[in-house]
Amino acid sequence: MNHIPTHGHATEDRQLRIREREIDDLFAKAFQTSPEFCNRVRECLGLSGSGVANHVGTQQVHFEDSGTIDLDVILSSERLLIENKISAYWSHVNGVAQPERYVRSGAGYSGTTVLLAPRSYLRKSVKAAMFDKTLSYESLLSEFSGPDYDLLAAAIDQAEVPPENPSDVQTAFFQSFGALRARIAPQITEKKRDRNKGSHTVHLDVPKSLTLHAGLPKPKVFLQFVEANVKLMIPKWGWHITEIQRAGGLENTGIALRQVGRVGTLALQLPTPPINCKGPFEPERERAAEAIMTTGRLCKWWDNNPDILQHWQQVVERLSHDA
């Protein structure tokens, strides 16, 4: 992918809430410079073609109406009128809300209206249905890296925390964690962050963080703060965990094998320090750094041991055939 120039906003000491204009600028630059990003947008919106956008405008006036369109983009001959939201309410001008203004502009400009926002915003917004299309930040996150990735990931977190909520500190925590990860382990990249029933989990972007060995399944990698471990997950191999353990290959690594869930997933697991991400980041910095380095160590083991993994694959295939 062509590197999208970074904006330098997502720094470790940032405490202010992210402004929608910053994300406007991030996406405008991506539309102008990254064919991969534009192709991902095409895929999400059902458009054909390839390459960067033909035109990108910001804060364009609505059709015969007050207010502005955040992003006015021509992509594959399709005019996209994009409203970008993180967590703000709809603005009203002369009693007319933003969705109604976009409906008018879509008709007047013969364009497709698009609501671009984090999934949590799209789920909560009743008027999202007034737009022709919706597009989530999460669906585009993997096309970014470095500070740009951290900025967009922090905006996704911010959307889940109301502006008046004092636990907004969690958004700053994840932002600081991402900046630390980028500095001490730039070889691994985050894909998304979960908050599932208190199990705060960072998912790695596997194609950008691991070597995808030919003929082997594509794993998933989770760093779990509360459970205090990092897991590399291989689907279906867990049914044969006993035989894989007998096959060996993990001696003196500290890596444990676990069967996870009901679908026979095999987890290669390393312990990490528990991390409290509901408070300030600084007291957790040392533990976070250790967890990041442990995650990098598990990924490095996967990268450096295709022979062991292929042997395990042969064990799995033999046992599956015998069954």
Length of the chain: 323
Q: Assign 156 to helix, strand or coil.
A: helix
Nearby residues of 288 by Cβ (< 8 Å), 6 or more positions away: 177, 180, 275, 281
Report the C-alpha gap between 281 and 176 in whole angstroms: 7
Angle between helix 35-45 and helix 20-33 axes, rounded to 10 deg? 100
Q: CA-CA distance, 178 to 282, in Å (whole number)? A: 13
Q: Find where tokens 């990924």 sit.
A: 299
Strand-pair category, 55-61 with 78-84: unpaired
Rounded CA gap, 258 and 250, in Å? 13
* Per-residue model confidence as pLDDT tens for the chain (323 residues): 444 444 443 433 344 578 899 999 999 999 999 999 999 999 999 999 999 999 999 998 998 877 899 999 999 999 999 999 998 878 777 767 889 999 999 999 999 999 999 998 998 888 899 999 999 999 999 899 888 988 898 888 888 765 544 455 676 788 788 889 989 999 998 877 665 455 688 889 898 899 999 999 999 999 999 889 999 999 889 989 999 999 999 999 999 999 987 668 999 999 999 999 888 899 999 999 999 999 999 999 999 999 999 999 999 998 877 65
DSSP letter at 167 equals G
Rg (C-alpha) for the chain, rounded Å, is 22
- The residue written with tokens 């102008």 in the block is 32
Element (H, E) at 196: strand 190-196
Q: How many Cα atoms within 13 Å fall on the side-chain side of residue 148?
A: 21
